[in-house]
Structure 1
Amino acid sequence: MTSLENIPVKYSDLVSEIETGQVKIPQFQRKFVWGIKASAKLLDSIIKGYPIGTFIYWRTNERLRSIRNLGNIMLPEPKEGEYINYVLDGQQRLTSLFASLKGVQITDDDGKIFDYSKIFVDLTANEDGEIIVTDITDMEPNTFIKVTELMEGSLTMLASFPEKYHSILEQYKKIIQSYTFSVINLKNAPIDVATEVFTRLNVGGKALTLFEIMVAKTYDAKEEFDLSEKYDQLKEELSISQYDTIPSSTVLQVVAILLEKDCTRKQILKLEKQRFIDIWNEATDCIKKSVDFFRGYGIVVSRILPYNALIVPFSYFFYLHKKNPIGSMKKRLEDFFWRASLGFRYSSGVESKIAQDIEKIEAIINGELPKYGWAVTIDEEYIENNGWFSTGKAFVKAILCLYAKQKPKSFDNNLDVIMDNSWLKIASSKNYHHYFPKSWLKKEFKDWDYFYVNHIVNITIVDDFLNKRTIKTKSPGVYMKTFQKHNDELENTMKSHLIDIAKDGVWDNDYDKFYRARLKRISKALNKFIIPQESLSETPLEVYEDIEEPEIEGIE
């Protein structure tokens, strides 16, 4: 049972615990930022007998990732099985205190060196003034002493000061040596409780993410396992495949699903460290196989993946089925992808729905067609009602996946349009081209509702260069003639964008005809991927909110 223990700690014990590695700064703590002047004020409070606040430790024999010792001072690791005090509150004060009393040099991230030995005791100061100072420019020799020399200097060195200062030197040294520091130990607490305490104590700071907690929890120096470094390595490997935007939350969900078929925050926190470490390589291998499947299917960049959460059930598929799916199994897996993407499957209640969908993946592997509890009706009305263009909407991303599957060609030369995550990051990207430019429509068709102008039906994926230099705000009837002069295969080029320039009113700038023709074509193309079946519960047609894909609560 979690308990709190209030312990008074003397100077010598506090310093000894730090020097022997029994006090550590967990990875989720922010870096040491106190300067020399702030540290001097802290010591001034101590020498005047003022309270400096309580240090709160989490006392445990768990080994966490501690990327920082006190102020980046390299201290020894405690013996295996020994208890460690991880600092939950008071890191800045504790680091400042230790650095000042030991006179160490600390190097910041920019390489700047701070010398904490340059903190002095003013032997001439009265109680109302500053006793601990950093500026001795105008002070007379032998009227000041370094704090480090006061605490660790020999009797001979101290005796070399004028006799009138001997008693004050002895007094100040005793005050620091006998100062009682207030320490509260949080004992027998699981890591999620400890990090919750940390978050509440640091209300001005950012709440810890689940990933930060798991980085600390799964760290193992002996096995050289550092989740933060492993995740960075995975992202670097996936960057080659244009899938480096997969968030850490999704990776944690994959691991939890493979181990427990449950990816709730509570379950992730309960995962045993060794099991987590043991399955890591296989889990990341399953993620890579999922990425290969999506890319082979035509979804060549992660930006247009409707939900990051889709990585989880697909990774589970490759965990149980080591080979690429073929035949009816492939069709059923595709059916699952489009049902989840077009049916707003992971727009809410993500964790529980992923767990439910694991059963569907198992059914597919067993040669069965899963029964789905949500309806997917991909008719023209449904696409029209849900097609407001926003790159954060899963439904819109699903249509972009359809566009990508057609391997869209460049208008000017019929070569493949190269898709890149950085180009497709925002809706205003020049790679998302309104085939009938918004400004032109606004000028020529003032009565058109803007909803139908900024619609996924009016979006094509093009080269950035074309949008900036050639298309601009011209009507398609004008700018397409420019491409017609240089591209003898323009008709086939536009079919790769699901547009028939001979039939869709392009040359006449007939937006209504174009809109209706392409809407029908998109509906027909999508329905090829859906295996018809009666849904367990029919969902009424509705227009969904234009919201960004949500992250799992408490993870990111």
Structure 2
Amino acid sequence: MNDSNRQNTESIQDIIKEIDKKQIVLPDFQRDFVWDESKTYELFDSLVRDIFIGSIIYGIPSFEIAVREIDMRSRKTKGKKREPLKTLFFTKEQINEKVKVGNFRAVLDGQQRITSIYRALKKIDNIWLILKNEDEFDQDKDFNEMTVEEMMFCFSGKQDSVRLSINVGDAFEMIENKMREKPLQEKYFDNLEFVKQLDVENVDYYFERFLIAVSKLQDLFKAEKMVSYFLLDMSSEKFALFFERSNSLGVRLDFIDILVAKLSSGFRLRTKLEELKMETGYNIEREILVREIAFLVSKNEGKSISIDKGYILSNLTCEHFQKYWENTCKLYINVLDFLFKNNFIMTQDWIPHSNMLIPLMIFLDNLPNKLFSQMNETQLEFVKYWYWGSIFAQRYTGGATNEIIILDSKILTLIAKEEKISNENYFRDFNMIIDHSGDLYNFTKKGSAVYKGVLTFINYVSGGLTDWKNGSKVSFNEKVDDHHIYPKAYLQEYISEEEDLVYIDCVVNRTLIPKITNIKIGKNPPDKYLNELYSNNDKLKESLRKHMIPIEIMDGDYNEFFSVFIEDRAKRIFESINEHIIRKKELIKECHYQERKKPIGNNIDIFARYNKITINAKFNRETQEVFLEGMKYNSVSTAANAAKKKISNKDTSTNGWNFWKYRDGEEEKSIIELRD
């Protein structure tokens, strides 16, 4: 191994600078950037926790090569298309010159990681570091002595209204923008949702914490040993071999494998999973079953509900699996059956978010006799809205998925028990990312839950998509493809308008049909292959209507007007989304929301937990005074600080509105909900 091939390290800041100077580029034959934002949350979580993210591998090609820039395009654009990435061609001599005068290199492995980091720090993607609240910290450590890992609650795509949040792009921007504290506070801090809720007396305290956390995050970006890389000087033959072999190595070991080993003495989890698959014919998603059991265990043992990996590995035992396994399997199979029979899904491969099965299992577990047939009409309407609304609002795409699963499980428990939702904020989470037919053009990848959601939504609205060969409904275990309605090969050969070519892979030019039918279609134009199918299936036109495809396509009317076909079909799809989801929001809220009952009397019981000690007090809703151990405090935050000092003997500053809790029935809520 020569010196250039040895392992080195570099800082995130250096990577960003090199990308800006066009010294880090991508070979043009690299695949596109495909990570959704949830992958970026996991990446930054690993960086903060000092978990090895794998080495970046760069190459210095010793031959002519076409390269392109890092993808800096917005994920969502109104209208028809995104600008193509710029491509440059360098001769061998030009590459040698660029290597001499700079640190020119091409990314061979690590494109998704580098692009994700760059997009976050340049604020192309909004990635937020959410900090823990006071009662979640290690109380034996001062805040300015903590690491970012110790401060961190999670990474997310949006700021948290009840926790201090920092946009990682803002933190990086502040490295270069050496601003005084006052303008810095006005630009980056004052408009945070969390800050807007603070009492005036707490603003300076949290601004100081904001600055400390930003500084530590910046140190992370500047750390020279943050990212490991190899720099390879490669011939064209080695380049080809690298890409041929780089994705074929490695064994994936996840936390379920570790759990299997832990339970092996008393519960043979792997064997049970195999038996369940044999009995049902379903592909069993073992993580869904395990998280469901974790939910039931933590709930029924009177603990704070948890389904995360740490809780599962630390707390679940053989006895838990023996107790809950049979019921959990029945719930899982019955939920899948319900989703398929009611056309929410076509096959398991096309479930947009498998994690959504968990709240549905909890919902079923709380229905009479654990039967979906016991639902009334209003419960069914809520389930429909919740399912599709969550997909098209991307509620399950993000760093806090476990919290969403737990919240939705609690909400669906209320619905199953025919009780009302008292949290009005819950309905604000259903903000659709598709509010115009043109938004559909942006979804081109099967890995996107919205892409899957659009195609399975068409199946739902149609009452079940049918096969074009014989008009029969697609069976649950059938192999289904996202078929190009206008085949890719046909468009590339016969469509000359470059603006039309951007629609080739968009979801509007796709529909779900059995794989064998897709293979036989080949690269023929739709009017040709559809009429051949029609000669053997007189139900084809009705099938096309189910697929939301204009039947005029069979006459060749769209062959020279591909973009018109895309526009017409996009309008049909969006009109259905609007009818079945967007316009239902207020009706669903009106039916299932009920403003919380005001506690009787002005003084109510409140409590807080700090250092594993429960503190009890009284809160006057009219005067907003807190009565604690015979003392009256005019501010909820001052009372919180006093309570914490009695326990830790330390002076702290706390947002009392989030610190103090009250009980609304069985549910614990922060008193900020009583503030108005």
Residue of structure 1 equivalent to 2:552: 502
Equivalent residues in 2 for 1:185-264 (5 A)? 209-221=254-266, 225-239=267-281, 243-244=282-283, 246-260=284-298, 261-264=305-308
TM-score (norm 2): 0.43
* SS of match in other structure, 1:502: helix
Q: Unaligned regions of 5+ residues in structure 2, if any?
A: 1-248, 299-304, 590-676
From 319, 323, 327, the equivalent of 2:371 is 323
Deviation at 1:489, TM superposition (A): 3.1
TM-score (norm 1): 0.52
From 353, 364, 379, the equivalent of 1:307 is 353
**Contact 1:410-1:493 at 8 Å conserved across structures:** yes
The alignment status of 1:387 with 2:443, answered yes or no, reads yes
**Contact 1:218-1:277 at 8 Å conserved across structures:** no
Residue of structure 2 equivalent to 1:154: none
Deviation at 1:434, TM superposition (A): 0.7
Residue of structure 2 equivalent to 1:356: 407
Residue of structure 2 equivalent to 1:346: 396
Range with greater deviation from structure 2 (355-364 or 212-221): 212-221
**Contact 2:548-2:573 at 8 Å conserved across structures:** yes
Structure with the higher helix share, 1 or 2: 2
Task: Decide whether aligned partners of structure 1 residues 508 and 211 sit closer, same or farther in structure 2, where only a CA change above 3 A counts.
Answer: closer
| Structure possessing the higher radius of gyration over alpha carbons | 1
Task: Decide whether aligned partners of structure 1 residues 413 and 231 sit closer, same or farther in structure 2, where only a CA change above 3 A counts.
Answer: closer
Residue of structure 1 equivalent to 2:530: 480
* SS of match in other structure, 1:467: helix
Deviations 1:503-540 (A, max 9, x none): 8985341312221121111112233432223999xxxx
Residue of structure 1 equivalent to 2:492: 442
Residue of structure 2 equivalent to 1:410: 467
Residue of structure 2 equivalent to 1:32: none
* SS of match in other structure, 1:514: helix
Deviation at 1:408, TM superposition (A): 2.2
Deviations 1:363-394 (A, max 9, x none): 32243466242411543346424421x22211
The alignment status of 1:373 with 2:429, answered yes or no, reads yes
Residue of structure 1 equivalent to 2:623: none
Matching residue's letter, 1:402: F
The alignment status of 1:268 with 2:319, answered yes or no, reads no
Structure 1 distance, partners of 2:531, 2:554, is: 15
Matching residue's letter, 2:446: T
Structure 1 distance, partners of 2:438, 2:586, is: 18
Equivalent residues in 2 for 1:102-117 (5 A)? none
Deviation at 1:319, TM superposition (A): 1.6
Structure 2 distance, partners of 1:282, 1:291, is: 14
Task: Decide whether aligned partners of structure 1 residues 265 and 274 sit closer, same or farther in structure 2, where only a CA change above 3 A counts.
Answer: same
Matching residue's letter, 1:391: K
Matching residue's letter, 1:257: F
The alignment status of 1:280 with 2:325, answered yes or no, reads yes
Equivalent residues in 2 for 1:93-104 (5 A)? none
Structure 1 distance, partners of 2:514, 2:254, is: 37
Residue of structure 1 equivalent to 2:586: 533
Structure 1 distance, partners of 2:458, 2:499, is: 25
Structure 2 distance, partners of 1:512, 1:465, is: 27
**Contact 2:441-2:508 at 8 Å conserved across structures:** no
**Contact 1:373-1:535 at 8 Å conserved across structures:** no
**Contact 1:258-1:319 at 8 Å conserved across structures:** no
Deviation at 1:461, TM superposition (A): 2.2
Equivalent residues in 2 for 1:427-466 (5 A)? 431-446=481-496, 447-466=498-517
Residue of structure 1 equivalent to 2:542: 492
Range with greater deviation from structure 2 (274-283 or 503-512): 503-512
The count of aligned residue pairs is 317
Deviation at 1:206, TM superposition (A): 6.0
Deviations 1:378-433 (A, max 9, x none): 43346424421x22211111122123333222334323344646x34xxxxxx332
From 365, 390, 397, the equivalent of 2:452 is 397
Structure 2 distance, partners of 1:284, 1:461, is: 29
**Contact 1:418-1:463 at 8 Å conserved across structures:** no
Residue of structure 2 equivalent to 1:118: none
* SS of match in other structure, 2:551: coil
Range with greater deviation from structure 2 (407-416 or 308-317): 407-416
* SS of match in other structure, 2:534: helix
Task: Decide whether aligned partners of structure 1 residues 282 and 512 sit closer, same or farther in structure 2, where only a CA change above 3 A counts.
Answer: same
**Contact 1:505-1:514 at 8 Å conserved across structures:** no
Structure 1 distance, partners of 2:535, 2:471, is: 13
Task: Decide whether aligned partners of structure 1 residues 381 and 396 sit closer, same or farther in structure 2, where only a CA change above 3 A counts.
Answer: same
Deviation at 1:304, TM superposition (A): 0.4
Structure 2 distance, partners of 1:206, 1:487, is: 46
Deviation at 1:205, TM superposition (A): 9.0
Structure 2 distance, partners of 1:226, 1:532, is: 45
Deviation at 1:285, TM superposition (A): 1.4
Matching residue's letter, 1:320: N
Task: Decide whether aligned partners of structure 1 residues 494 and 534 sit closer, same or farther in structure 2, where only a CA change above 3 A counts.
Answer: closer
**Contact 2:395-2:429 at 8 Å conserved across structures:** no
Deviation at 1:435, TM superposition (A): 0.8
Q: Unaligned regions of 5+ residues in structure 1, if any?
A: 1-203, 425-430, 537-556
Structure 1 distance, partners of 2:428, 2:280, is: 31
**Contact 2:491-2:501 at 8 Å conserved across structures:** no
The alignment status of 1:523 with 2:574, answered yes or no, reads yes
Task: Decide whether aligned partners of structure 1 residues 210 and 387 sit closer, same or farther in structure 2, where only a CA change above 3 A counts.
Answer: same
Deviations 1:293-344 (A, max 9, x none): 1111212311000011111111111121212133110110111111222222
Structure 1 distance, partners of 2:509, 2:250, is: 44
Structure 1 distance, partners of 2:512, 2:253, is: 38
Task: Decide whether aligned partners of structure 1 residues 262 and 529 sit closer, same or farther in structure 2, where only a CA change above 3 A counts.
Answer: farther
Structure 1 distance, partners of 2:416, 2:389, is: 17
Structure 1 distance, partners of 2:437, 2:576, is: 15
* SS of match in other structure, 1:473: coil
Matching residue's letter, 2:411: K
Residue of structure 1 equivalent to 2:233: none
Structure 2 distance, partners of 1:494, 1:208, is: 43
Structure 1 distance, partners of 2:486, 2:377, is: 39
Deviation at 1:236, TM superposition (A): 2.5
Task: Decide whether aligned partners of structure 1 residues 310 and 505 sit closer, same or farther in structure 2, where only a CA change above 3 A counts.
Answer: farther
**Identical pairs, percent:** 22
* SS of match in other structure, 1:453: coil
**Contact 1:409-1:417 at 8 Å conserved across structures:** yes
**Contact 1:413-1:486 at 8 Å conserved across structures:** yes
